[in-house]
Amino acid sequence: MNTPLMMGAVAYAPKVVTIWEGFKAWFRENGVEFDYILYSNYERQVEAQFDGSIALAWNSPLAWVRAERMARARGQQVRALAMRDSDCDLTSVLVTRVDAAGGAGSLDALRGKVIGFGAIDSPQANLIPLDYLRQHGMLAGTGFQARRFDVLGGKHGDHIGGERDAALALMAGEIDAAWMIDSNHMAFSREGVLPAGATRIIARTAHFDHCNFTVSPGAPEAQVARFGELLMAMSWDDPVVRPLLELEGLRAWLPGRTSGYDALIRAVDDERFYSPEGIILASDYRY
């Protein structure tokens, strides 16, 4: 048997095993020996990209930033092979209660108030929102008070519990506003976490991108290329493939791009999350 192409993925929920077991079977049926290693957090996964353990990593955008920095510091390169259609052109929203005392209906009205954020390592619910506020002249501790809802550190916000906890705190009147990715705002509205008509959006970030398949330095190029070809060939109309795509939350795979990470990169530097070499600087980060 050929040596399998090894991929890393983070076990942020039980469905991760189902997803990658399904992909493993499908790739093998299509002539690619493929296997995966599950990691408890993205920091360990990124480090494994540099010790020969994995040829590919299904990385969060924050994990991509660290991998790219670590590679550059070593005189190496990583590249984004592919991403989901659902990873492109996303936004996060700042939500307030319609019935809030004082009627916080604008960003300026939140000066001096308490704003809720997701986990410390969440691109969409902490780092990118902090960058947005910084770009609009609002800094934590002076322009507003930040309350972070840390859930499952090291998962980079893939576990949306922090965003849900912030939404619940908003409705309980514990905070004045809360950040969440737009799709979760809609999901929380459907679930009743945010009752219909009870909230309004007062700010929205610029578009950003999310996860990508990151190719490790020294990965076997022929196997990676074939893996990429098969990814792009996966069709929503194929009844065997569709359940896998549904589980992973996409309709089509797209070529990887890195142009949608600018705000996150800026936030990583401004918040001193990683050094330019990919060293973890955030002192209160637990993973």
Please state, for a pLDDT cut of 70, what percent of the chain lies above it.
98
CA 241, 246, 247, 249 dihedral sign is: positive
Q: Which two tokens stand for residue 18?
A: 């189902």
CA distance 152 to 285: 11
Q: Which two tokens stand for residue 25?
A: 């079977």
pLDDT of residue 160: 83
CA distance 235 to 231: 9
- Of 58-62, 159-163, 179-183, 247-251, which gets the smallest average pLDDT? 159-163
pLDDT of residue 26: 95
- Across the chain, which distance is largest between two alpha carbons, in Å? 68
User: 276: number of CA atoms within 13 Å, CB side?
Assistant: 2
Instruction: Decide: helix, strand or coil at residue 49.
Output: coil
Which of 175, 177, 194, 176 shows the shortest CA–CA distance to 185?
194
Ramachandran sector of residue 31 (left: φ over 0; alpha: ψ -120 to 50; beta: rest): left
Cα Rg, the chain, nearest whole Å? 20
Q: Which residue has the tokens 């990965």?
A: 219
Tell me which H or E stretch contains 45: helix 42-48
pTM reported for the whole predicted model? 0.94
Which of 128, 212, 207, 214 shows the shortest CA–CA distance to 163?
128
Over 70: is that where the pLDDT of 168 sits?
Answer: yes
pLDDT of residue 13: 87
Mean local confidence (pLDDT), 247-255: 96
Q: Which pLDDT band, with edges at 50, 70 and 90, does 106 fall under?
A: confident
Q: Which two tokens stand for residue 32?
A: 């690619």
Q: Which pLDDT band, with edges at 50, 70 and 90, does 104 fall under?
A: low
